[in-house]
Structure 1
Amino acid sequence: MLKKWYIWLFGAVLLIPVILYGTWKTYEWILLERLRSIDIQVAPYSKEITSQNYDVIVVGGEPEGVAAAVSAARNGAKTLLVEHREGLGGLLTFGMLNFLDIDHEMRGEVANAGIFKEWHRMVGGRVTFDIETAKKAFLKLVQNEPNLSLLLGTELTKPILEGKRIIGVEVQGESGKQTYYANRFIDSTQNADLAALAGVPYFIGNQDIGVSQKMSTTLMIHLKGVDWDKVLATAYTHKFGPAKANVTAAWGFGGLLTAYKPSQPDVRLRGFNMVRSSDNMIYINALQIFGIDGLDSDSLEKAKEKGRKETEHIVQFLRKEFPGFENAQIASFPTELYVRETRHVLAEYQLPISDVWENRDHPDRIGFGSYPVDIQATSTQNTGYVLTDPIQYAIPFRSLVPLEIDQLLVASKAAGYSSLAAGSARVVPTGMTVAEAAGVAAVLSIRNNVDFREMTKSKEMISNLQEILTKQGALLYAYELEYPYQGEWFYPDIRELLTYGLISGGYKNEFPVDSPMKEMALVNLLMNGIERKNADLYVKLKERLTQVRYLVTEGQEIKRDQAARFIEYMVSGTKSKDPWAWVTKRNLVEPHLTSSLVENRVLTTAECYSLVAGIMQKLDVIEKMEGRSK
């Protein structure tokens, strides 16, 4: 009897994995069948445009442009959407970026509702989607609006200006050059093309923090013949580092960064963001290409050529090393690159990274962002970083209103964000939320005969804007949230260093404030801080700054007097007997540090942050001292 019990138990144990596998495969089949069965009926595209005059013209058929145009049309505006491609969706469809970066707000809900939520449901409601389904969903949203006309295959050539006001756009299509006029305009192009042509001031990449580099550009990888069951198994064995996977997505595999050896300079393979579509095609976001000018067509073509060549080499590597890819083949190449940043327009309010860190609300909020500030690598010499992971922050309407040019809003990743804040705000769901608000704002501006700049100053109109957005399903509410190191004596110093991207808190929003800092780390922080805040002064001091490195004892924790010596030599090229007295006499150290550092002891990281931030705030004084010394 006992033996039979053991036999039954043994049989049950053997059945457990069979049952689990069968359950998994059933779920997989049901989900993929549901995604395959999505049937979005769209009418054939018609190029007939019967009017030259509109209430609102939106330029750019990116997801943001669709949201802006649909929003304006639903609120009663006669609207025209102009797009240079032969379809809608831009980066998500022609760039094949079909893995969404989803924001969640403080209560755990998806932060981006409204038109984004409507589109997201149409494509299956997951973080991944099928590209052809997405194209149809964008077109369906447009075709559902009787007030909305669409021009595909039509290039913007120039804006028509009346003083500082945009009154029309000249475009080039199959029928030649045409001019269309409107009362208000929304620029939802990737690169703020309309705004730039109109004369809106802007900066490129991260020039606002004194750096000329740009984040990497990516060519998506599109494969067929991949065994997804093996990919799942590889994810859970951690062969290429920690990874996660489900029926339609896999991500992680950070070990690929070092395991894969590129065949060309200025390219690299990072960890995978991988999508499995309902027809078992695989799309991978991982190939980084550096040194690309996203505003130069020749540079972009060279990048695509380099990306296609590297993809062939990557596939050979995956066939040999990554289980599941033994029979992988290239299915196609995207027609466009994923260019993360080019222009950032200057706006009435330039959303700073400190707002993101502080989870800040704004009275003119039009939407929330919460995605981690993902600063991608800028060269093969660095790996990128997460600067902070906010709970949520509000995007103000003022950030959509560009300087100098009237009757125009910019609603895209090129809107009025600092380059670091854009590391979060640039994600598509946030962009569609912002663009939906732009569409409503354009209609309100026309109805009330108030331009956008005046509108930013009207509490009544902002309240009306928010009320309409809420009725359309947007998540908008006033809130208060705390943030890391709030109220600490050193927080103003953290804020200064964050503003220039000199420190990063990662996903935990933490700094080693109580730990000691090494001498070399302090010197590097000083040098980078000066270079980013005042490049001209950095050039003048560069020789001495370089020599300061020779005063460093490798691996040594920094003490008060040694920190003062670094500062003294950097500023004057001298080495006095009492460097602490030298810097304090010249007010180069904040009073709170002067009173707390009464002895020559090891400094905490917080105290080092305060020293460096204090120097950065006194660079004008140092520049005058430098001038007098000559």
Structure 2
Amino acid sequence: MWWKNKRPFMVIIAAALLMQLIHFAAFTPGAYAGTPQKSTPLYCGPGCSHYDVVVIGSEIEGVELAKAAHDQGLSVLILDPRSKPGGELIQGQMLVLDEPHDKAKRSLVQGEIKHLYDGYKSGVIRRIKDFRQYYQRLIRGIPLKSGVAIDSIRTIPGGNEKSLEALSYRANDGSKYTVQAEYWVENTDYGALSSKLGEERIPGMESIYRGSKPDYMAATYMLNFNNVDWAHMHEAVLHAYPLSKVQKIFGQNTYVDRKFATGFSNQTYKFRPKDSQLLLRGINATNQKNGQVIVNSLLIFNVNPADPKSVQTAISKAREEAPRILKFLQQYVPGFENAELGEFPEYLYIRDFNRYETKYVLDYKDVKSNRMFWDNVTIGGYTIDLQATQVMPLGVSLGKPNRYGIPLRSFELKSYDNVLVAGKNVGASIKAYGSARIIPTTALAGQTIGIILGREWKNGHKMLDQLTQADFVRIHNYLAKDFNIVLNR
């Protein structure tokens, strides 16, 4: 019979059809409603790896999500486009930590990130080596690849939502890889992943003054100083009291205690940088002990974090200006008379860049009205602080809200059922973003989402965007009971 000679050919065809059926079942939207797929090379293909969660970028907020998901038993991979991990916290040395409070001045810092803040306030975590130790503890056991470049993405069309199926990338040695995941997390400071997914950009600082071009809050280059006499700075301000006299001498919001210092804007705004891209604002400083101080003060306008040349140009200009700033502070700010420059950070603190629409975009009214959501994943309460741009060199403050919630939907990319955003990628209008952008608020969201991925998606077989109000009653209960995270009041 003719078919006897064709049997090997038919077997090959049948096997190929079976592989296609397996691939289709694994990645159609309907497949997610069933038991989530475990890592397996069967449908991933040669040279491909499969994870429950792939995080793009190594900023602290998304790392909190990665750790929580990993602790819940999920397979997690971090792919970092930067040459070294740590982002603004470690490479940018953004070690001056802002803290949200409610109007009764109660701290709103909760969850894993509270260990960092408690150590910071007590003085145990102040220097870069302390922050590195904390960060290394978070990523322990999680594979992380730095220096990757995204080559291409593959999506699956659905009804109202698409799914991101796979991503191909180049490692820093030029090798090419493909990875598939059930969930993806945007965790860079420039939208390395989300900028490729076709969502609308949320208007930025240009909407404050009705500008026609995208505009962003300034970046900062952190400055380290040695041999600062902190006690002298503290005493100089104390001796200037009452407060009206302090403000007259040193400027609005000048305050110094034994740990932290702000203000001195009457002095710093006298400084004239050589380059118009730079501005020295009032200092925001942390006493790192033994004469070491780190200052968040040198603003850099028009930095594009997606462009390595723009970043390196900004860093070069800041380093060139640093000796002039040192000389100026020695002359005008008490305690800096004998100061010296310390080590330079390798990267910048990026406050603001392109963010893309999420399933719910947090608005200014939500923040000001202290709104709570049924799907809260974090609680905010920081001042609505919109930092300077070149058009608005003094920035703007829109007041201090009480506690408010941010929903899970503000961390879910609008048109996708399996793409999440972390940290400064939060879906918020620019005014709401002025408060929601700080580390403890979005880091808590990261941890909460990581927990929910493990307990609800992996164990409950529901996609996050399928969770209901009734589900969140249960979720909020176990978050409070098992993790001491309170999100419903």
* Aligned match for 2:419, one of 392, 396, 408: 408
Check conservation: 1:215, 1:378, Cα contact below 8 A.
yes
Deviations 1:502-533 (A, max 9, x none): xxxxxxxxxxxxxxxxxxxxxxxxxxxxxxxx
Following superposition, the deviation at residue 110 of structure 1 comes to 2.3
Q: After the TM superposition, which residues 494-513 of structure 1 pair with which residues of structure 2 at under 5 Å, given as runs?
A: none
Of 254-263 and 401-410, more deviation after overlay is shown by 254-263
In the alignment, which residue of structure 2 is the partner of 1:447? 459
In the alignment, which residue of structure 2 is the partner of 1:77? 74
In the alignment, which residue of structure 1 is the partner of 2:390? 379
Between the aligned partners of 1:106 and 1:73, the Cα distance in structure 2 is 35
* Aligned match for 1:216, one of 215, 218, 229: 218
In the alignment, which residue of structure 2 is the partner of 1:149? 143
Q: After the TM superposition, which residues 160-309 of structure 1 pair with which residues of structure 2 at under 5 Å, given as runs?
A: 160-163=154-157, 164-174=162-172, 176-203=175-202, 205-207=204-206, 210-211=210-211, 212=213, 213-236=215-238, 237=240, 238=246, 239-241=249-251, 243-309=254-320
Deviations 1:376-399 (A, max 9, x none): 121275411211201111001111
In the alignment, which residue of structure 2 is the partner of 1:578? none
The structure-2 alpha-carbon separation of the partners of 1:204 and 1:131, relative to structure 1 and needing over 3 Å to count, comes to farther
The structure-2 alpha-carbon separation of the partners of 1:378 and 1:128, relative to structure 1 and needing over 3 Å to count, comes to farther
The structure-2 alpha-carbon separation of the partners of 1:279 and 1:214, relative to structure 1 and needing over 3 Å to count, comes to same
The structure-2 alpha-carbon separation of the partners of 1:390 and 1:225, relative to structure 1 and needing over 3 Å to count, comes to same
The structure-2 alpha-carbon separation of the partners of 1:245 and 1:127, relative to structure 1 and needing over 3 Å to count, comes to farther
- AA in 2 matched with 1:342: F
Count of residue pairs brought into register by the alignment: 425
Following superposition, the deviation at residue 318 of structure 1 comes to 1.6
Following superposition, the deviation at residue 319 of structure 1 comes to 2.0
- AA in 1 matched with 2:228: V
SS of the residue corresponding to residue 483 of structure 2 reads coil
Which one has a larger percent helix, Structure 1 or Structure 2?
Answer: 1
In the alignment, which residue of structure 2 is the partner of 1:529? none
Following superposition, the deviation at residue 171 of structure 1 comes to 3.0
Deviations 1:5-51 (A, max 9, x none): xxxxxxxxxxxxxxxxxxxxxxxxxxxxxxxxxxxxxxxxxxxxx99
SS of the residue corresponding to residue 354 of structure 1 reads helix
- AA in 2 matched with 1:426: R
- AA in 1 matched with 2:226: K
Following superposition, the deviation at residue 95 of structure 1 comes to 1.0
User: Runs of 5+ in structure 2 lacking a partner?
Assistant: 1-46, 241-245
In the alignment, which residue of structure 1 is the partner of 2:17? none
Between the aligned partners of 2:163 and 2:190, the Cα distance in structure 1 is 20
SS of the residue corresponding to residue 283 of structure 1 reads strand
Between the aligned partners of 2:124 and 2:231, the Cα distance in structure 1 is 20
Percentage of matched positions with identical amino acids: 27
In the alignment, which residue of structure 1 is the partner of 2:42? none
SS of the residue corresponding to residue 344 of structure 1 reads coil
Check conservation: 1:275, 1:282, Cα contact below 8 A.
yes
Between the aligned partners of 2:459 and 2:193, the Cα distance in structure 1 is 24
Between the aligned partners of 2:370 and 2:421, the Cα distance in structure 1 is 23
Following superposition, the deviation at residue 123 of structure 1 comes to 5.3
The structure-2 alpha-carbon separation of the partners of 1:407 and 1:337, relative to structure 1 and needing over 3 Å to count, comes to same
SS of the residue corresponding to residue 345 of structure 1 reads coil
* Aligned match for 1:68, one of 33, 51, 65: 65
The structure-2 alpha-carbon separation of the partners of 1:155 and 1:115, relative to structure 1 and needing over 3 Å to count, comes to farther
The structure-2 alpha-carbon separation of the partners of 1:380 and 1:205, relative to structure 1 and needing over 3 Å to count, comes to closer
Check conservation: 2:102, 2:401, Cα contact below 8 A.
no
RMSD: 2.6
Matched, 1:396 2:394: no
* Aligned match for 2:340, one of 329, 335, 354: 329
- AA in 2 matched with 1:273: N
Matched, 1:469 2:463: no
Matched, 1:137 2:158: no
Following superposition, the deviation at residue 270 of structure 1 comes to 1.2
- AA in 1 matched with 2:488: A
Between the aligned partners of 2:234 and 2:104, the Cα distance in structure 1 is 31
The structure-2 alpha-carbon separation of the partners of 1:339 and 1:202, relative to structure 1 and needing over 3 Å to count, comes to same
Check conservation: 1:87, 1:135, Cα contact below 8 A.
no
In the alignment, which residue of structure 2 is the partner of 1:361? 372
- AA in 1 matched with 2:449: A
SS of the residue corresponding to residue 202 of structure 2 reads strand
TM-score w.r.t. length of structure 1: 0.63
Between the aligned partners of 2:106 and 2:276, the Cα distance in structure 1 is 43
Between the aligned partners of 1:409 and 1:111, the Cα distance in structure 2 is 23
Deviations 1:555-610 (A, max 9, x none): xxxxxxxxxxxxxxxxxxxxxxxxxxxxxxxxxxxxxxxxxxxxxxxxxxxxxxxx
Between the aligned partners of 1:87 and 1:150, the Cα distance in structure 2 is 10
* Structure with the greater alpha carbon radius of gyration: 1
* Aligned match for 1:92, one of 72, 89, 92: 89
TM-score w.r.t. length of structure 2: 0.80
In the alignment, which residue of structure 2 is the partner of 1:528? none
Deviations 1:192-213 (A, max 9, x none): 3212223333235335554343
The structure-2 alpha-carbon separation of the partners of 1:472 and 1:68, relative to structure 1 and needing over 3 Å to count, comes to farther
Between the aligned partners of 2:275 and 2:385, the Cα distance in structure 1 is 25
Check conservation: 1:68, 1:435, Cα contact below 8 A.
yes
SS of the residue corresponding to residue 413 of structure 1 reads helix
Following superposition, the deviation at residue 346 of structure 1 comes to 0.3
In the alignment, which residue of structure 1 is the partner of 2:52? 55
Deviations 1:212-232 (A, max 9, x none): 432122111112222222222
Following superposition, the deviation at residue 86 of structure 1 comes to 5.8
- AA in 1 matched with 2:222: M
Of 386-395 and 171-180, more deviation after overlay is shown by 171-180
Deviations 1:242-284 (A, max 9, x none): 5222333211212124332333324221111012224532211
Between the aligned partners of 1:291 and 1:270, the Cα distance in structure 2 is 16
User: Runs of 5+ in structure 1 lacking a partner?
Assistant: 1-49, 480-630
Check conservation: 2:377, 2:487, Cα contact below 8 A.
no
In the alignment, which residue of structure 2 is the partner of 1:425? 436
Deviations 1:406-429 (A, max 9, x none): 211112111111111111110001
In the alignment, which residue of structure 1 is the partner of 2:32? none
Between the aligned partners of 1:127 and 1:113, the Cα distance in structure 2 is 18
Check conservation: 1:56, 1:77, Cα contact below 8 A.
yes
